[in-house]
Every structure is written in structure tokens, then in C-alpha cells.
Structure 1
Amino acid sequence: MTLDTPPQDEPAFLKGVKGPRRPRIALMGEFSAGKSTLANLMIGSDPLPVQVIATQLPPVWISYGSGPAAIVDLEGNETPCELEALQEISTEETAFIRVQCKEEILRMCDIIDMPGISDPNMASAVWERILPLADGVIWCSPATQAWRQSEASVWENVPKHIQEHSLLLLTRGDMLVSEKDRRKVLKRVRSETDALFAASMMISLTQARDAEDDPAIWEESGAEPFVTEFLNTINRIADQIEDGSPLEPFKTLNCEPQALVENEASSASVAHEETGDRIVPRRPIAKSRRERPTPRPQPEEDLDLSPKFS
């Protein structure tokens, strides 16, 4: 694998399609590391049917909008699809699956849910060809087996410009027996990954998911520092995109598949009007999903963060 070497040409599935874009964050890790649980927590809903096993799928590119789901093949052809039939997709012939939903976090960034890097039934090329399009990565690693050699071997080949906008998230923190054990694991991992990530932290995704209207559980889960780091990261990326600084190896590329940017300009305008120039994270206040109103943040005000990160 030679992810450090930029391809000479744009991938065929992106040629000739240009448009505005948001920061792109890829969720990565080994099999059953919590990537899909994290995606659902961040988005606030499950964009895929429960019967679909995420590790059997090519990358799922989730963005703001209301368009139908589609399969984008390696030549850039889009085929509308029923989400319930995704398990029939050929991963070798598919670049990614496009999914849109109207959740607030997607006004700030696109989320690309990658297949597990350790899946023996899927070639690494399935995710390698999409990774260069990401601006940053949230790498999920179970705290009980944190930062295995197989993970380190993959990560050392990820381009530096992606690493510096990436977070290492140790999931299943509640599975460790004591706070002392959690500190010990986190200290070791931070030592082993020094300078490879912008930040490393631990979280219990199940606690964060179940926090509902209890801020104490939300804070205990470790979600609070993660949310802050995540929003700071996409702010930094957004600043570089706005400034025109290079972020990705496709030097001439500033584009997305057309369906991905449907209503993009208007959505970006709305997001700018609602949140001002920057997203200002503050301490999350969990609210009941049944009673949570649609947030309407105003310029210069803090963004009210709940278990759905919006």
C-alpha cells in the first residue's frame, strides 16, 4: 500500500464534477471497533437499515440533503438503490454509497463510514481509493485491545496532511475495570502514537448513546472532550478550505459527485447564517430525543451539543 504517493490522475468516479464542499471526515478502524455506532451517535440517526452489516459494505459517504441513496461505481456512474438491498453490492466495482439525510452535524461536514481495515473478505483497495479524499480521520480502536500492530502498520502509510487532522478514539472505555486502567492504557497509546494524531482520547460509545437527558453520564462517557476536539478539527479544516490551502493529494481537485453537492451551496449558506464564521463548542447538554427541538443557533452564540452532536 502506498498511500503517501498521490495518484497522477483524478479517480474516474470524480472526473469532470466540481462544486463547493465541506470538510470530509472518515471513520476508520478494524472490524467491530465501533465506527458505525460512532456514526449513528454523531449524526443522531441510523442512516442504514439495522440488517445491513457495515463491514460488508464499501465506504458510505453521508452528507446533508434529501436525495435518494445511490451507488457510485468506479466510472462515476450513479445508480439509485434501496438501502435494504445494499448487501448485494459488489465492493470491487463500487467506489462508494451515497446517503443523504438532514441532520445538523452534516451541515458542518461530510462523514465517510469506511469498512473495517481487517476484513479478510474485502480488498484494502475498497477503502484505500477513497481515503485520499478525506481531510481527516477518526480512528476507532477498542480500549481493551488498544492500538494493535495491524492498526499501526496501516496508519504509518496515511498521508501526513490527513494524520494532522485526525483523532484517535479508544472505544469501549467502560470495559476497562478501573480508572487507573483507563489512564494506563491511554498513557501507553499516547506514547506510541506521539505526533501521529492531533489528539487521542477514550470514550464509552454506549454510555454516550444512552445519556439521554443526563449530562453527568454524557460527561462520564468521555464524549465531552471528543466533541470539543472534533468540532475544533473541522473548524481548522474549514478554515484551510476557505483559505485555499492544499488539503488533499488530488491537487487540481475541488469537487464532489454532483448528487453529493445537491443543494450544497444553499445548505452552506444556511449553515453560515445560523452559526456564524465558526462553530464554538461548549459543554454538551444532553436532551431527551423525544423532546429535543431542532436547534437554531444564532451567530456568536455557542452551539448546543446533545448526544446527537447537533
Structure 2
Amino acid sequence: MKMTDLTALLQEKRAAAGSGSPLRVVICGEVSAGKSTVMNALMRDQMLPDNIGQSARPVLVAGWREIPGIEASGRDGREIRAALPGTPELFHGADFIRLWLDQPHLSGIELIELPMTRAEELTGDQIDLVQSADVMIWVTIGSQAWRLTEKAIVETLGETRPDRSILIVSRGDKLRTDKDRGRLMERMERETAALFGHRFFLFGDRRKIAASAGSEAEWQATGGAPLAALLRGFAGQPARTVYDREPREKPVETRTAPGFEARFVAETEEDPPFVVEVTKADETILADAGSDTEVGARVEVQPDPEPVAPVAKTAPPARPGILQAGLLHEDGAGHTLLAGDAETLAQLADFCRVMLKQLQDARLTAEGGPVSFFSLSTAKRRLLIQVRNGAGAVFMLADAAVMNQGMAQVAIGQLGGDRRVTG
């Protein structure tokens, strides 16, 4: 089946299903980069078998429907309907496969896997499909992330790329340590800032993905949950123009304590200057919440996701580098202690609540949606806040000598899977 046939077929299926126009997400990458793993993580199950095929790989599409099932077009021209999860023979013998799932988080979202090889081999059909998408996910392998061949493909797509673009580093669990993952994520941020607005690790352990169907904690651990939450946020926003290839990180006007330098990573290039106030008292809180601090801060806004729980006076020892951690309750009534001591955490919680209130400024949230991730770094400390849809916000103070920014982002993501957070 040609890619041009795919576009027509998808339109027919959407009309027949009465689903309107879902958020179209194309999942791209080189052969064996982990695209199917990304789809499995988003579907919360090991739906797609290994080695579906490379030379004759079917077009894979997934979406939401009340009645789950599989619709496929065989290479012999037959139309096939089957119950999930299907059989390996079905996947290997089809040109086109559509998976319908009754997973609520996929409502209004259409996932399309789009393999690519080399920039010079891009077809008009592939380019048209990317241009028709609302979101592009590029999958790169953690062990050899962001090769020159990948960069060439993405840059060749040029203005056909959707404005909302996400880089997924697959096989994050194959990297030996959090330090390795942190260093890699920092490199990805440096090298892909002009191409992608968001970057995630995916931990593609088959058992975790299979277990994520019945466990929020396992789903968080795969990296599928934060990615799904970001897509859900996109699905609730108006359509956007194609990405103009300018870096998303832009300096903004700031009023800060002496020695601070702030910047935001926002979802739109058109955001007007936004002011964040960091007072001398705030600086003292950060210093007191973990020892002496040399000041020189960086503020970042990005996305991430999900649910919650209640408080204690002491918490179990946290992983090395986490000084304080807690959960702000959404209703503003208190917080839950996850790591550290209650007295210091209470001061830090008040500070985080004030910062989140400032970040609801309409100039920042009008077009890009509410802030879902915030980071403030000093010479010795890192403060991260991750807003969880409908369930408050997780916040964490880390030792910058132990955790770089990438490691800290991995750590707060793991805190999001804590049972005290997910309930």
C-alpha cells in the first residue's frame, strides 16, 4: 500500500468512525530505532510483535474506539478484522494495520508509525504524511543517539515538520547509570534545541510495558505516561503552524536577585517577554534547604504529567542527590513529604506554590497551555517542579554536585511514579 493511499484510507476511517479529526502523531525514525516500542508504551501493552518486517513492513496506525479490535489490509488484497492482540501472522502478512484500543488516554489521538532510511531516500508520500501531522516524534537509539544520518533526515524535512516536535531517546534502560543518561540528555538538549521542543527517555523493557496496562507506576517507569500526558495536552490545544526551525530556547526579560540569570523554554516562538520575580528571601530559602549556595540561576519551562496522595514528618531516605522532595496538593491545602525533613520542606513548598502562581501569567499560558514543568538551577542546587494533571505538583530540590540537569529530570520523573504520588 502506498503512502498516498494511507492518507485517503485514514480519512475514510475517521469519517466512518465519526471521530472527527484526531491529533495526528507521526512516529518517525530509522530502522530498528524503537518506533514500535514507543507505540507499545503509548498503548500500555506489548501489542506490536518484534521483527514485523523491514523490507515489507506494514503501515501501523493506532487510535481510540469504544470497541477494540484490529482492521488490516492483507498483501493479497483481503480486508481482515480481528480481535486484539492479533497474531504474528496477521502482522507479517498485512500492508496496513489499524489498532483500535479502548484506552481513554488515546481518545482524540491518532498514532502513525513512519519508518525512514536516508535523507536522499525520502519520498513525496512520506513528506506529505509528515506535513499532514500535528505532532512529529523522532525516535533515536540511546546507545548511538542522534547520528548525522538522523539529523540529515530531520533537516531535509524542513518546514514540513509540525511545530510540535518531540525527540524520544529509546532504550534508556540500556544506559548503565543515571549519570550516563543525564550527560546524554544534556547533549541532546544542546544539539537538537532548534529541532525539537521536548525530549524524553523511553525505558522499553518488555515486561514493564506489558505490566503498565494495570499499573500507573509501571507506566510511569517506561516513560510512556509523561509522553501520553504531553500528547493529551496537545490534543486540547488549537492547531499550530509548521515549525520555523528557530531554537525554542529564548532569553526573556527578568527581574531577579543579583547574580541570577533566567530563561524559559516555552511551546511557542511568539511568547512576549515574561517576568519572573526571584527575591532575596527566595534565594535564602534555596540556600537553607540544603546548605550554602552560590547563586547564578537558570529557569526552564517544559512539559510532563499525572496523579497523587497525603503527609508525614519524616520520609524514607531518598536516592543520592535528592535533598528535599514533596507533593503540592492541587487544592492548595498542604503537601505530602516524599524526602527530607518536614520543617525545611514546608518552607520549600510555600516557595514552590508562589512560583507556580507566578507562572500562570496569561502571557505565558494563553497559546502554549499551562506550564507543566519548571526548573531553577543555582551553582549548587537544582529545584524542579512537575505539574501533574488534576493532581497537584511534585517538587524536588537536588544537589547540583551530584545531579546534572538531565539526571535531575530523570529523578523527578521517577518520583512521579512513587506510590505516595500515584496513590
TM-score for the superposition, normalised by structure 2: 0.45
Distance in 2, matches of 1:184 and 1:51, equals 30
Contact 2:164–2:196 (CA<8 Å) still a contact in 1?
yes
Q: How does 1:143-292 map to 2 (within 5 A)?
A: 143-160=142-159, 162-206=161-205, 208-209=208-209, 221=221, 223=223, 227-228=225-226, 230-241=228-239, 281-283=305-307
160-169 or 25-34, which deviates more: 160-169
Supply the AA of the counterpart residue of 2:226: T
**2:68 is equivalent to residue 70 of structure 1:** no
Structure 2 Cα separation of the partners of residues 62 and 109 of structure 1: 8
Counterpart CA distance in 2 for 1:284 and 1:28 is: 33
The alpha carbon displacement at 1:209 in A equals 2.3
TM-score by length of 1: 0.59
Residues 137 and 163 of structure 1 are in contact (CA less than 8 Å); yes or no, is this contact kept in structure 2?
A: yes
Identify if the C-alpha distance between structure 1 residues 126 and 45 changes in structure 2 by more than 3 Å, giving closer, same or farther: farther
Task: Give 1:105 deviation, angstroms.
Answer: 2.6
Match of 2:57 in 1: 57
| Deviation of 1:149 (Å) | 0.9
- Equivalents in 1 of 2:51, 2:230: separation in Å? 32
What letter matches 1:150 in structure 2? T
Rounded Cα–Cα distance in structure 2 between residues aligned with 1:31 and 1:284: 38
Deviation, 1:196, is: 0.7
Aligned to 2:370: none
Counterpart amino acid of residue 70 in structure 1: A
Gaps of 5+ in 1: 1-6, 91-95, 249-279, 286-299
Q: Root-mean-square deviation (CA), in Å?
A: 4.2
1:282 Cα shift? 1.7
The 3-state SS of whatever aligns with 2:106 is: helix
- Residue 302 of structure 1 and its aligned partner are, at CA, apart by 4.7
Aligned to 1:272: none
SS in 2 for 1:69: strand
Following TM superposition, by how much is the alpha carbon of 1:42 offset from its aligned partner in structure 2, in angstroms?
A: 1.2
Quote the Cα distance in structure 2 between the aligned partners of 1:46 and 1:26.
19
Q: Is the 8 A contact 2:28 2:139 kept in 1?
A: yes
2-side partners of 1:39 and 1:86: how far apart?
A: 15
Q: CA deviation at 1:86?
A: 4.3
Question: 1:79-98 to 2 correspondence within 5 Å?
Answer: 79-80=79-80, 84-89=89-94, 96-98=96-98
Alpha-carbon shift at residue 100 of structure 1 (Å):
1.9
* Structure 1 pair 60–127 and aligned structure 2 pair: CA distance change class (3 A): farther
Residues 71 and 98 in structure 1, CA contact (< 8 A), matched pair in contact too = no
Q: Which is strand-richer, 1 or 2?
A: 2
How many correspondences in the alignment?
234
Aligned partner of residue 164 in structure 2, secondary structure: coil
1:35 equivalent in structure 2: 35
- Pairwise CA distance, 1:161: 6.8
Counterparts of 1:33 and 1:141, CA distance in 2: 6
* 1:144-164 residue CA offsets vs partner (Å, 9 max, x unmatched): 100011111111133547443
Distance 1:110 1:63 in 2: 5
Match of 2:179, SS?
helix
**Hey, what's the Cα distance between the residues in 2 that align with 1:87 and 1:126?**
22
Matches of 2:73 and 2:211 in 1, distance apart? 35
Q: Which has the larger radius of gyration?
A: 2
1:45 maps to 45
- The aligned residue for residue 22 of structure 2 is 22
Percent of pairs with identical residues: 23
SS of 2:194's partner is: coil
More displaced stretch, 206-215 vs 123-132 = 206-215
